[in-house]
């Protein structure tokens, strides 16, 4: 019972952005008071809290290394126990940590593997949303806002809203706005030729991986014949791309997202 209370308290601290208190509570309870391994949900909260603390650079590096050790430990334990869905969550967290360490290519490869398994075997909705968010953030780091927006953040936002997952929807909207501003900067860089920019943006969106070439679902009369089509990241590409085909469209989309109420 005590462990449950502490876990919920830590979760509340984390959601209130009280990261130091979150880590401090875990350190006190589970290092000194209770030596048993952390449950999966507790490990995820601690990993997230450690990587959210803003401090001196060497302290942040230490926190990231500690989070990495905890993540890899739980990843191997979940895999060894045959808990593949739990392992998926830690693989996404691993990609997040690799991005924090500026190992972008390694993070990409990690997320490619995650997506292949999600596409083949499915996963919970929250796990899929966390994958979409992390994959999109990785693209933002590489300055590919167009692909991040169309392929990851818009589907994440729409799915989260449809399921009343407010926190995930708020995160997706925030990152979608960042991506839109990157797209807006592309149009601002060539105001005399927006059509050429639109073609360039479409090319950036198409910078995909194996999913687009090896695992596209068969489509007949506009309807996918693949039962896992809901995990196809390009399933609604044309509609979403229409939202950013011009500078005016981007401005309208930014205004719409700014005014979107998520409660």
d(CA 129, CA 64): 23
**What average pLDDT score do residues 51-73 get?**
84
Instruction: Provide the pLDDT for residue 8.
Output: 77
DSSP string for 109-167: HHHHHHHHHHHHH---HHHHHHHHHHHHHHHHHTT-HHHIIIIIIHHHHHHHHHTT-HH
d(CA 114, CA 231): 12
Identify whether 209 is part of a domain: yes
- Bridge partner list, 219: 224
First and final CA of the chain: distance in angstroms? 31
**The model's pTM:** 0.82
Count of Cβ atoms closer than 10 Å to residue 1 Cβ: 5
Is pLDDT above 70 for 209?
A: no
Identify whether 117 is part of a domain: no
44-75 burial, b at 16+ Cβ within 10 Å, e below that, comes to bbbbebbbbeeeeeeebeebbeebbebbeebb
Identify whether 149 is part of a domain: yes
Instruction: Provide the pLDDT for residue 83.
Output: 87
Query: For 67, how many CA atoms within 13 A lie in the half-sphere containing its CB?
Result: 28
d(CA 248, CA 23): 45
Identify whether 240 is part of a domain: yes
Instruction: Provide the pLDDT for residue 114.
Output: 93
**What average pLDDT score do residues 40-53 get?**
84
d(CA 121, CA 94): 20
Is pLDDT above 70 for 37?
A: no
Identify whether 99 is part of a domain: no
Higher-scoring residue by pLDDT: 251, 21:
251
Identify whether 13 is part of a domain: no
Identify whether 157 is part of a domain: yes
Instruction: Provide the pLDDT for residue 14.
Output: 76
Confidence of residue 213 (pLDDT cuts 50, 70, 90): very low
| Range of 105-109, 197-201, 204-208, 224-228 with top mean pLDDT | 105-109
**What average pLDDT score do residues 17-38 get?**
70
Reduced DSSP (H G I as helix, E B as strand, rest coil) percent helix, strand, coil of the chain, to 5: 75, 0, 20
**What average pLDDT score do residues 107-129 get?**
90
Mean pLDDT over the full length of the chain: 82
Which domain covers residue 252, as residue numbers? 124-263
Confidence of residue 127 (pLDDT cuts 50, 70, 90): very high
Q: What pLDDT digit, counting tens, does each position of 140-185 carry?
A: 999 999 999 988 999 999 899 988 999 999 999 999 999 999 999 8
Is pLDDT above 80 for 206?
A: no
Identify whether 110 is part of a domain: no
d(CA 241, CA 257): 16
Q: How many domains does the chain have?
A: 1
Instruction: Provide the pLDDT for residue 133.
Output: 96
Count of Cβ atoms closer than 10 Å to residue 173 Cβ: 20
**What average pLDDT score do residues 60-64 get?**
85
Q: Which two three-digit tokens encode residue 152?
A: 């990851």
Confidence of residue 210 (pLDDT cuts 50, 70, 90): very low
Higher-scoring residue by pLDDT: 100, 54:
100
d(CA 201, CA 32): 53
d(CA 168, CA 134): 12
Residues 125/159, Cβ–Cβ less than 8 Å: yes
| Helical packing angle, 154-162 and 125-141, nearest 10° | 160
Q: What pLDDT digit, counting tens, does each position of 228-249 carry?
A: 556 666 666 677 888 888 888 8
Instruction: Provide the pLDDT for residue 217.
Output: 53
- Bridge partner list, 220: 223
The set of residues, in sequence order, having a beta carbon less than 8 Å from that of 52 and lying 6+ positions away, is: 14, 17, 19
């Amino acid at each position: 019972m005590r462990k449950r209370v502490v876990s919920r308290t830590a979760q509340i601290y984390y959601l209130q952005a009280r990261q130091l208190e979150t880590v401090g509570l875990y350190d006190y309870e589970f290092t000194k008071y209770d030596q048993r391994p952390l449950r999966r949900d507790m490990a995820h909260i601690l990993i997230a809290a450690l990587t959210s603390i803003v401090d001196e650079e060497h302290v942040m590096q230490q926190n990231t290394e500690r989070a990495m050790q905890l993540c890899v430990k739980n990843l191997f334990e979940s895999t060894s126990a045959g808990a593949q869905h739990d392992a998926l969550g830690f693989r996404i967290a691993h990609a997040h940590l690799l991005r924090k360490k500026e190992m972008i290519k390694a993070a990409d490869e990690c997320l490619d593997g995650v997506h292949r398994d999600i596409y083949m075997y499915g996963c919970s909705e929250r796990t899929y949303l966390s994958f979409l968010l992390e994959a999109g953030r990785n693209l933002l780091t590489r300055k590919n806002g167009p692909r991040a927006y169309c392929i990851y953040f818009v589907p994440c936002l729409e799915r989260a809203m449809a399921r009343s997952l407010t926190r995930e929807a708020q995160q997706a909207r925030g990152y979608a706005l960042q991506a839109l501003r990157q797209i807006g900067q592309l149009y601002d860089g060539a105001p005399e030729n927006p059509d050429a920019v639109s073609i360039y943006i479409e090319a950036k969106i198409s910078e995909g991986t194996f999913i687009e070439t090896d695992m596209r679902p068969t489509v007949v009369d506009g309807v996918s014949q693949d039962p896992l089509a809901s995990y196809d990241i390009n399933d609604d590409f044309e509609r979403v791309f229409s939202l950013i085909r011009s500078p005016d469209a981007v401005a309208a989309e930014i205004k719409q997202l700014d005014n979107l109420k998520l409660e």
